[in-house]
Chain A
Amino acid sequence: MDEEYYQRLQQRNAADVKMLWDLLDTVKDPEVPALSIWDLGILRDIQREGDRVVVIITPTYSGCPAMDNISTDVIQCLNDHGYADVVVKLSLSPAWSSEWMSPEGRIKLRQYGIAPPEDAELDADGLTPEAHAACPHCGSRHTRRVSEFGSTACKALFQCDDCGEPFDYFKKI
């Protein structure tokens, strides 16, 4: 298990509001609905301040347009379970890292048709390589990068030369 993820898990297990963490497992990223905000590592902390619930989330990329939706969904979810006073705060530091993604999230991502970050060997600059990300459909490594930027900021676009399918690769940052 990745160290960064292990730390997150420790924090969750030690939380005095475990139930709230469990509730928020139902909040998905609207752009990658296979993943919960926990799986993605966007959910940073949950605190109780009297009757108020403070949820701290962090954006994956500076311009991630999903953050507003996610805030609304978090508030809605907790409201539906009887928590009337919910505040969502945005935290920028430390900056989100794809290392924070849960192991379950990585499997779900692959099943959903998106190659998770570890399915490609990064190039010398530590960036998305030009080729050989594992195709989430057929598993082949005969793939090539079509575009550095995919359908959302967090992904790059690849194509598989064996099964012919295009697929998204979740960039490692």
Chain B
Amino acid sequence: MSDQIKKALLEYTTRLGDDAVVLGHRISEWVSYGPFLEEDIAYGNVALDYIGRARMFYTYAAELANDGRDEDDFAYMRNDREYHNLLLLELPKGDFAYSQIRQLFADAYYTLVLPQLLHSKDERLAAIAAKGIKETKYHLRRSRDWVLRLGGGTDESHQRAQKALDQLWGYTHEMFDMDETEQLLADAGIGVDVSTLRDEWLAIVTEIVTNATLSVPEDSWAVRGGRIGYHTENLGHMLTEMQIVHRSHPGCKW
């Protein structure tokens, strides 16, 4: 493996870990706030799936970096500018409709990304994808059911779901951006060319949103920057809370 590819692979693996830990943490913020007990538990389970995925990516990233860091250093000892996650995933949990619409966008995305990553020439990435695929099927079914229920529910739930769609739509474009790092890996058969996935993603999302009597927003604006460390103000706040215990008690084990 060339040094260039190796460096790109470390960056790519870290990005995938960042995406998973940031979304996992946001979902976990619903624990004890769910609308009813079963939903509360469901949120906890989905959060765990993502955090588990983040651990696998970070453990691999730490091995690739080979500089003495471990998975915890990746999660807890990097600042917001060093995080290269998608902006969509870092936005605050908002109301229930907002979180479920975000989840639908993410679940539909991973439904397409993971089967491609499964064919990665990098065995480790393929193995992590294999675990995630089965879980994502359940995630998508849940977010789909909720979006249908919210859209077809009361005027209030419908209105909130539509508002969430409109507010989040401009953050979805970044999911399909490629940069030099990802292109290099896609060409080498290691990474996924996400730019080819948008049509299919749009088809999945459109079908569900339309069935929920909601409207797919126009492509009138787009926000980008997560992959190069330019974040919304929200990530810093989130990391402060997520990292405080680890940073306050360095090396603590329990």
Contacts and interface: CB of A to CB of B under 8 A. Distances in A.
Interface of A: 59, 61-65, 92-96, 125-128, 146-153, 157, 171, 173
Contacts of A149: 38, 41-42, 44-46, 138, 142
Given A62-B56, A149-B44, A151-B41, 8 more contacts: A59-B131, A61-B52, A63-B24, A63-B48, A95-B134, A149-B41, A149-B142, A173-B135
A127 B39 contact: no
Interface in B118-145: 123-124, 126-128, 130-135, 137-138, 141-142
B134 A65 contact: no
A92 B56 contact: yes
A92 B130 contact: yes
Given A62-B49, A62-B52, A63-B51, A92 B137 contact: no
Contacts of A150: 41, 45
Contacts of A59: 52, 131
B137 to A, nearest CB: 6
Contacts of B137: 125-127
A63 B49 CA distance: 5
Interface of B: 24, 38-39, 41-42, 44-53, 55-56, 123-124, 126-128, 130-135, 137-138, 141-142
Nearest to B48: A63
A135 B159 CA distance: 39
Given A147-B38, A148-B138, A93 B48 contact: no
Nearest to A157: B38
Nearest to A153: B45
A64 B41 contact: no
Nearest first, the 5 closest Cβ-Cβ pairs linking A and B are A63-B52, A62-B52, A63-B48, A93-B127, A147-B38
Nearest to B128: A92
A170 B152 CA distance: 31
20 contacts: A59-B131, A61-B48, A61-B52, A62-B55, A92-B127, A92-B131, A93-B126, A93-B130, A95-B130, A95-B133, A96-B131, A125-B137, A125-B141, A126-B137, A128-B138, A147-B41, A148-B141, A149-B142, A150-B45, A153-B49
Contacts of B53: 62-63
B141 A63 contact: no
A148 B52 contact: no
Nearest to B132: A62
A64 B50 CA distance: 11
B41 A61 contact: no
A38 to B, nearest CB: 20
Nearest to B59: A90
Contacts of A65: 48
B138 A127 contact: yes
B52 A127 contact: no
Contacts of B141: 125, 127, 148
A153 B126 CA distance: 22
A173 B137 CA distance: 10
